[in-house]
Amino acid sequence: MTIASRLFEYPTLFGNICLRIIRRFKIGSYEFRLSIGAVDRPHYAYLVYHASRLAAQLGHPRVSILEFGVAGGAGLLALERHADNMEKLFLVKIEIYGFDTGKGLPKPLDFRDLPYHWKQGFYEMDVPVLKARLKRAKLVLGDVNDTVAGFFKGYNPAPIGAISQDLDFYSSTVAALKLLDAPQTHFLPRVFCYFDDTIGGETELYGDFTGQRLAIHEFNDSHSRAKLTPIYYMRARPAAPAWHHKMWSLHFFEHADYDKFVGEENQQHPI
């Protein structure tokens, strides 16, 4: 963490005003703005940065970033912008894939999909308009059960290093998590993940027995060699913003590179 980022670690009214100004007018380098969270959709910047960094440490020339739940496409465009900047920091090419029905939310299957909060047709995409604006991201349109099943054969993606999960429903999240049952060579040994629908508010009342949190719990219960866990250091930061509490890491314990050292070489503490 840089000295500048430490100055913004403990939020103050003055600091928050400075952050908004830095973000709006893009003051300083991208790397500086990234370090203090003064970038568009900082959770996406975090995903792309750490996936690219780990890929570089492991010697991968390419890495894939996935977004489940594209909606209008603003998030996918933000991922492209972050990827443009990140490729200047790391010698890693970034591929982006966006999964969506293209028609908005499907009909909730049962109470686990929170029909008191979600309705069929929410977040419909204008597919031609979004395709015209995308520069590198590829849309993977259709029912997630079908698109996940044929993804690796149809797209031959680079190893996956980060995943944003914003499919809202329990059932759709379960379907998306089936992607993780593919051979571990399709992934980095640790994958940075964002689960959008795990905090919410007084209307959503997200809990452990419905929605995305239930899907995460069931995944962990049914997998012994791969686990999803919160990124605790982010939650421990002073006045951590909500998105810090939505970040998870996926660990593939039997991945060929899981034990490969990626820490700092000089970690001695002389007397």
Cβ(29)–Cβ(2) under 8 Å? no
> Who contacts 215 (Cβ-Cβ below 8 Å, separation ≥6)?
170, 173, 174, 177
Output the tens digit of pLDDT for each of the chain's 271 residues. 454 555 556 566 666 778 888 878 788 888 888 877 778 899 999 999 999 999 999 999 999 999 999 999 999 999 999 999 999 999 999 999 999 999 999 999 999 999 999 999 999 999 999 999 999 999 999 999 999 999 999 999 999 999 999 999 999 999 999 999 999 999 999 999 999 999 999 999 999 999 999 999 999 999 999 999 999 999 998 888 899 999 999 999 999 999 999 998 888 888 7
